[in-house]
Structure 1
Amino acid sequence: MKRIGILGGTFDPLHQGHMIIAEHVYEALKLDEIWFIPSHLPPHKQEATVSSEDRLQMVKEAIKGNPHFHVSAIEIEREGKSYTIDTIKHLKGAYPEHKFCFIIGGDMVQYLPQWHRIDELRQLVQFVGVGRKEITGKDLNEDVQMVEIPRVDISSSIIRDRLSHDQSIRYLVPESVFEYVKEKSLYEPKSE
Structure 2
Amino acid sequence: MSVSEDAPVRVAMLGGTFDPVHIGHLRSAVELHETLELERVHMVPAHVPPHREAPGVTADERLRMLELGIGDTPGLVADGRELARSGPSYSVDTLTSLRRELGSQARLVMALGQDAFLKLASWHDPERLFELAHLVVIERPDHPASPDQELRALIEGREVVDRRDLFARPAGGLLRLRLPSRMAISATDLRRRLYAGRSVRYLLPSSVESYIVSRNLYR
Give the structure-2-normalised TM-score: 0.79
Larger mean Cα displacement after TM superposition, 143-152 or 78-87: 143-152
* Partner of residue 193 from structure 2, selected from 135, 139, 162: 162
Shift of 1:109: 2.1
Query: Are 2:116 and 1:108 equivalent residues in the alignment?
Result: yes
Provide the rounded CA distance (Å) in 2 between the counterparts of 1:110 and 1:18: 19
Counterpart of 1:148 in structure 2 is 178
Question: Which secondary structure does the structure 2 equivalent of 1:5 belong to?
Answer: strand
Matched-pair contact (CA < 8 Å) for 1:5–1:100: yes
- Over residues 97-131 of structure 1, what are the superposed CA-to-partner deviations in whole Å (9 max), with x where a residue is unaligned? 64310110023222222211011111111000011
Matched-pair contact (CA < 8 Å) for 2:139–2:177: yes
* Cα distance change on mapping 1:26 and 1:49 into 2, 3 Å: same
* Cα distance change on mapping 1:32 and 1:19 into 2, 3 Å: same
Map 1:37-116 onto structure 2 (within 5 A).
37-96=44-103, 98-116=106-124
What residue ranges of structure 1 are gaps of 5+ in the alignment? Answer: none
* Partner of residue 33 from structure 2, selected from 26, 33, 40: 26
* Partner of residue 217 from structure 2, selected from 183, 186, 190: 186
What residue ranges of structure 2 are gaps of 5+ in the alignment? Answer: 1-7, 160-172
Q: CA RMSD in A?
A: 2.2
Give the structure-1-normalised TM-score: 0.90
Provide the rounded CA distance (Å) in 2 between the counterparts of 1:132 and 1:12: 19
Over the matched positions of the two proteins, sequence identity in percent amounts to 32
Shift of 1:9: 0.6
Question: Which secondary structure does the structure 2 equivalent of 1:123 belong to?
Answer: helix
**What amino acid is aligned across from residue 32 of structure 1 in structure 2?**
E
* Cα distance change on mapping 1:16 and 1:130 into 2, 3 Å: same
Question: Which secondary structure does the structure 1 equivalent of 2:185 belong to?
Answer: coil
